[in-house]
């Protein structure tokens, strides 16, 4: 449970960092960022697998690059459910999802494997 909460807070901090870096993404405060991290986690667990299966032909044709679009759509969808977390369009959602993924990957690499 502690590991989940730590991951949630780290993801919220990364969302705040992404909001400062990408114009078109707005986060009101820490509460909105934590709710956004929670909703994004739920959307990644529930909605994203369905979207990946439904868009499999596009993903195959684009050699997997369409998964970036799926990530952006899930990120944009999460903003629709969280008050205080707003994304102005697909462009900021795409850049924000890409940056958030890269930061998460970099952080996971820096911390190392979980025990």
- Residue-level pLDDT at 50: 96
Write down the pLDDT at residue 67: 95
Helix (H) or strand (E) holding 47: helix 30-54
User: pLDDT over 70 for what percent of the chain?
Assistant: 98
Per-residue confidence band for 3, with pLDDT thresholds at 50, 70 and 90: confident
> 114 pLDDT exceeds 70?
no
Residue 113 has pLDDT above 80, yes or no: no
Distances, alpha carbon 11 to alpha carbons 73, 80, 94, 95, 103, in Å:
18, 18, 17, 16, 9
- C-alpha to C-alpha distance for 68 and 71, rounded to whole angstroms: 5
**Mean pLDDT in residue range 19-35:** 96
**Residue for token digits 């899930």?**
74
User: Per-residue pLDDT tens for 42-69?
Assistant: 999 999 999 999 999 999 999 999 999 9
């Amino acid at each position: 449970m502690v590991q989940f909460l730590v991951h949630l807070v780290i993801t919220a901090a990364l969302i705040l960092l992404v909001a400062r870096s990408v114009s078109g993404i707005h986060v009101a405060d820490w509460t909105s960022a934590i709710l956004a991290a929670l909703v994004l986690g739920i959307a990644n667990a529930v909605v994203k697998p369905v979207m990946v299966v439904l868009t499999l032909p596009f993903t195959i044709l684009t050699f997997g690059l369409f998964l970036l679009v799926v990530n952006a759509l899930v990120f944009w969808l999460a903003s629709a459910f969280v008050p205080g977390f707003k994304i102005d369009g697909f462009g900021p959602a795409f850049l924000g999802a890409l940056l958030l993924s890269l930061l998460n990957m970099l952080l996971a690499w820096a911390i190392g494997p979980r025990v």
